[in-house]
Structure 1
Amino acid sequence: MAAQDGPILIIGTERSGSNLLRLVLDAHSRIAVPHPPHFLRYLSGIPYDGDVDAMVDDAMRLLRHHIHPWPHVIDRAAVTRAAGPSLFGVVSAIYDQYRVAEGAARWGCKSTFMVEHVDEVLAGLPHARFLWLVRDPRDVAASAKRAVFGPCHPYRMAERWTAEQELARAALERWGPSVVHLVRYEDLVSAPEREIRAICDFVGEAFEPAMLAHHLGGHARMTASLSASWRTAGDPITTARIGAHRRGLTDRERRQVESVAARAMETLRYPFDPASRAEPAPGQFGVALRGLAVRLAVEARSLRTDRNHFRRWRRDATVHRLRRRARPGRVRVPAGESR
């Protein structure tokens, strides 16, 4: 694989504008970026012991129950023939088949959880490039309170954000700016052409004006139609959601987020109230109870508004079955999830 055809992976934390960046990249004539089934997120803790057939079977099950159906049928036999010996080798074969179906030269992945697998990706595909997308953690937490994905409690979301920024920074320090490129959401929406041109330079592609009109494409309209959590995917690039925490978080929630994320916020140039460092950590029971209450409200809204609500439940049930089938005590559950 030539360097200019290596995959492009968006890493960081969900609710940071990854659908926006995915669709911007997908609007490029040479790049195909489907909505991710989060293969490694859900399958990497299962002990396959090198059984490629089992990996392909489970990946195809996830794809069948994906909450954002792909427009192309993936050939299981072709995946098995093309797959490398690792789980990421299977994932790469699936994405490459999608790329061919789209008529693109390279594929991209917007599963931000791949921040946990940078070394693994580069071991298999050394020409891969990573876009570290970061957004103000208070806005991430405010968005998560309304979304069906991830922890609803701002304190828990701040813990995830902090851990994932530390992983991304470690990847940048280990592999350097020629492999990992930092993209600030606030800069992307404030000066989109400048930032998208910089991204194109980083990945070795020519800038295309269509990238500034991603919302006009069919993929953006499909994404926006499936879930209230993705509704903005069909909107043009806007600064309207910068500072969303001012409306979406209480003062106490804001202080809780800042107390967890202060160090990373300082490094990434997000101003915060220094007094928040002294904010006491909330009790686990209170966090769990409040998180459950918000989750129930979010699920009730999803039941009324989301076209993919039951697909998400089926996906979650599929993941649960796959993990239960694994040998007891050997499944590694990703950070932020319960067994």
Structure 2
Amino acid sequence: MTASTRPVFLLGCPRSGTTLLQLMLHAHPRIALPPENRFVLPAYERRLAFGDLRDRGNRAGLAQWITGRQETRFHELGLDTATVASRITDGPPTLGSALGTALRAYAEQHGKTRWGDKRPAYALHVPEILRLFPDAQFVHLVRDGRDCVASLLRMPWWHAGFHEAVATWSQVMDTTRRHARRLGPDSWHELRYEDLLTDPEPVLRGLCAYLGEEYDPSMTEPYRLAEVAVPARKTWHRNTHGALDASRSGTWRQRLTPDQIRLCEAALGDRLTRAGYEPSGAVRPAPGELLRYRRVSALRRAAHARRRLRDRRTRQRERGPVAEVPPGI
């Protein structure tokens, strides 16, 4: 059987353990997943600004936008800027090809033949990723929503508050459930963070089978790569530098207040149960708190619907295809 070269996209709710799984996949001898970038989704969203990519000058401008700006975090990939920019400029005239060139270069630098990318936000942007990379395979990592909420509230970059954190997990679970049904088992695979911590080998074997890869034991030692694949500035990922620790699961019991637990379980109850997480039996929250959550959730989903509408309008103004041209064609 021919070895797969399909790109792998890892996604989930923020603070669900995607960085840990990124390292596990990066430990595989054939797969490379770089640190999180800020050029795939932003490039797609502003694609009209790059002009017709059949024009070499426009491809050069796109290459500079990807490789030459601090905001894209391209510099954290450790690649030679001029080389990648040249490859993009001389490459196929589509946005997917340009982005794939940058990510493929990271894999090649690490001696890998298959590339991927990780960003929790991809959970709400699967259609965009599929437009860029139609043969993509998705890996969805699920963590107990109560633990995700508790962890988000401790992050220095999370300023949206408790209700927004609950609404984020809810929206991710609803959205990814629809994608899982639509894409099927050839393009969508789901696993749980807690299982990854307590018994990683069978979980990783199942993941490798989905990807069409041989399992490699080094995947259970992600901490060996943390110094390479996790930027030092991300101090909130310090747990990835140590051995797997199952005690990280269920810490919501100590980190959330009783009122917060009540709201989490009332708002997320069915979703928690479907994902295999047992409710604690907390009583219903105050009606006002539940109403506040519903308002926040409705605003998030309305904003997402507006983005989808804008995207459909933008597609009508595209000049040429956006999908990656498979290498060799």
Name the TM-score class by shorter chain. Answer: 0.7 to 0.9
Name the counterpart of 1:85: 94
Cα 1:44–1:262 change in 2 (3 A) is farther
Q: Deviations for 1:48-76, whole angstroms, at most 9, x for unmatched residues?
A: 25624354443334556629822222421
The answer to whether the 8 A contact 1:10-1:131 is kept is: yes
Amino acid across the alignment from 1:185: Y
Q: 1:169 aligns with which of 167, 177, 180?
A: 177
1:125 positional shift: 3.2
Distance 1:151 1:36 in 2: 20
Report matched runs for 1:118-129 at 5 Å.
118-129=126-137
The answer to whether the 8 A contact 1:172-1:180 is kept is: yes
Amino acid across the alignment from 1:267: R
Q: Deviations for 1:106-129, whole angstroms, at most 9, x for unmatched residues?
A: 111111212233233334434321
The answer to whether the 8 A contact 1:6-1:106 is kept is: yes
Report matched runs for 1:70-149 at 5 Å.
70-74=77-81, 75-82=84-91, 84-86=93-95, 88-149=96-157
Name the counterpart of 2:220: 212
Amino acid across the alignment from 1:229: W
Q: Deviations for 1:120-160, whole angstroms, at most 9, x for unmatched residues?
A: 33344343211111101111111111213444522211111
Name the counterpart of 2:325: none
Amino acid across the alignment from 1:173: R
Structure 1 stretches lacking a partner, 5+ long: 289-329, 331-339
Cα 1:4–1:65 change in 2 (3 A) is closer
Name the counterpart of 1:8: 8
Distance 2:127 2:72 in 1: 28
Distance 2:277 2:284 in 1: 14
Name the counterpart of 1:154: 162
Name the counterpart of 2:24: 24
Q: Deviations for 1:196-243, whole angstroms, at most 9, x for unmatched residues?
A: 1111111011111111112123x4466274332111110111211101
Q: 2:237 aligns with which of 230, 234, 237?
A: 230
* 1:254 matched to 2:264: no
Amino acid across the alignment from 2:89: T
Distance 2:122 2:229 in 1: 24
What TM-score do the two structures reach when normalised by structure 2?
Answer: 0.76
Q: 1:268 aligns with which of 266, 271, 275?
A: 275
When structure 1 is superposed on structure 2, of 120-129 and 72-81 the one drifting more is 120-129
Structure 2 stretches lacking a partner, 5+ long: 297-313, 315-329
1:43 positional shift: 4.3
When structure 1 is superposed on structure 2, of 20-29 and 275-284 the one drifting more is 275-284
Distance 2:251 2:156 in 1: 18
Name the counterpart of 2:249: 242
Amino acid across the alignment from 1:33: L
Name the counterpart of 1:315: none
The answer to whether the 8 A contact 2:143-2:192 is kept is: yes
Distance 2:18 2:80 in 1: 24
Q: Secondary structure at 2:237's aligned position in 1? A: helix
Cα 1:41–1:55 change in 2 (3 A) is same
What is the aligned residue count? 285
Cα 1:122–1:45 change in 2 (3 A) is closer
Q: Secondary structure at 1:69's aligned position in 2? A: helix
State the Cα RMSD in Å: 2.9
1:267 positional shift: 2.1
Cα 1:247–1:194 change in 2 (3 A) is same
Distance 2:48 2:106 in 1: 24
Cα 1:91–1:279 change in 2 (3 A) is farther
